[in-house]
Structure 1
């Protein structure tokens, strides 16, 4: 798919569903030489969930490498590094009283979607309607009614079900990017403690993520169903 078509689909999607903020194009780059010209490195270290929120609200676009990610757990599940032992073992969340036992915490962390460690060298972020690259995943933060409509649009052509998988942990990184990237399927997630603490995602919003290969069919279906 050409970049111009990607941008056109982004604009159409916003118009059809009257989205209040932009869908976010996310690209996982395996070699830094593949970072497109004209996209600048982010200016300061921050969290992936904040990056998504900033892009959708302000229209900013940038790329990041491992050192730009303040949340190392988020960076790790997207393939920029390796998860720390404290996070991998569940100790971190157990100590925060998010689980009743260390075993429960560890079991949950073992099931977080995880791109191969160090396989990704950079991550690109842009509003879908302005991106100068073809993304791997499109992340949309919006109220549940519109997540419902987008889910229906995803299934319009071939049917099936949206197989959502989440634990309220590593949400915009593991669920929002790693899961659709690895599975090739759309996913829905609800946010996590970190993403709801450090961003302006509203209580009334949730997240749907779609692999770029499904974008054209989803937008065409949304146009037919809801325009």
Structure 2
């Protein structure tokens, strides 16, 4: 269940922020019945995601989404000709010319549905009867590496990553994972770094929620071969604090890269 998933992510990763669950509220009835509070004023979608990472709950419709690019990406507003043609970003000088801008625009992945709004809450706030559609984790490169390794344990390489440093939280971390049914990495974008004030050493990961359990299992299975002792000590303490020490045995001073580096001569001497 989502609360248990959030617990295991906290145990296995060195998170500064809570994982965030995104649920699409497709109808007006869905929007009204959401337990999250509606916004009284406007806010960019990515800022609301940051708020949720700090423990706050909200729901957002197009009238209160202070970023039209996010409204388009999430299916709350139609995609207009200016976005489809690439002319807006070409005029702004984001890309060299209209041809390049059009190629980026053509590869953008918007939610195909029309929805009334989105529910944005910490993952731990969801339950078995109310699960998110996508999980967004804004975190460090090390944690992103571990999430990728957890995914790869069951699925192999993470392929078809899409990133342009544009529409990062709304598209690269939400609509793309949702529409393509696969995780995606994002270096974030200048817009979200401005309005949401992410740290320079943070990036984004978007995961379809139904795949999160397998990713967490992969993280657990790869603690011993992948993690260094420093992180293993942290994980062991988190396991103990959560009363889960018996669930996962942490083996210290052992991983796949111990003794793996050296010249052929050095490696040969070690075997003697």
Do they superpose with TM above 0.5?
Answer: yes
1:39–1:62 contact (8 Å) kept in structure 2: yes
In the other structure, the counterpart of 2:148 is 151
Specify which of 29, 44, 57 is matched with residue 61 of structure 1.
57
Inter-partner Cα distance in structure 1 for 2:74 and 2:81: 16
Inter-partner Cα distance in structure 2 for 1:75 and 1:14: 30
Inter-partner Cα distance in structure 2 for 1:37 and 1:207: 25
In the other structure, the counterpart of 1:44 is 41
Map 1:57-136 → 2, pairs under 5 A = 58-116=54-112, 119-131=114-126, 133-136=130-133
Is 2:204 the partner of 1:207?
yes
1:13: how far off? 0.4
Q: Of the two, which has the highest radius of gyration?
A: 2
Inter-partner Cα distance in structure 2 for 1:154 and 1:43: 38
Inter-partner Cα distance in structure 1 for 2:198 and 2:124: 20
In the other structure, the counterpart of 1:27 is 23
Q: TM-score, normalised by structure 1?
A: 0.91
Q: Secondary structure at the match of 2:124?
A: coil
Specify which of 175, 183, 186 is matched with residue 186 of structure 1.
183
- Please list the CA deviations of residues 9-43 of structure 1 after superposition, one character each: whole Å capped at 9, or x if unmatched: 11220121121101110011211212444221122
Aligned length: 221
1:179: how far off? 0.7
1:152: how far off? 0.7
Q: CA RMSD in A?
A: 1.6
1:70: how far off? 0.9
2:151–2:158 contact (8 Å) kept in structure 1: no
Inter-partner Cα distance in structure 1 for 2:34 and 2:116: 16
1:84: how far off? 3.4
1:122: how far off? 1.2
Inter-partner Cα distance in structure 2 for 1:89 and 1:54: 33
- Please list the CA deviations of residues 84-103 of structure 1 after superposition, one character each: whole Å capped at 9, or x if unmatched: 33333222212221111122
2:45–2:70 contact (8 Å) kept in structure 1: yes
Q: TM-score, normalised by structure 2?
A: 0.77
Map 1:156-171 → 2, pairs under 5 A = 156-171=153-168
Higher RCO (C-alpha under 8 Å, 6+ residues apart):
1
Inter-partner Cα distance in structure 2 for 1:111 and 1:219: 30
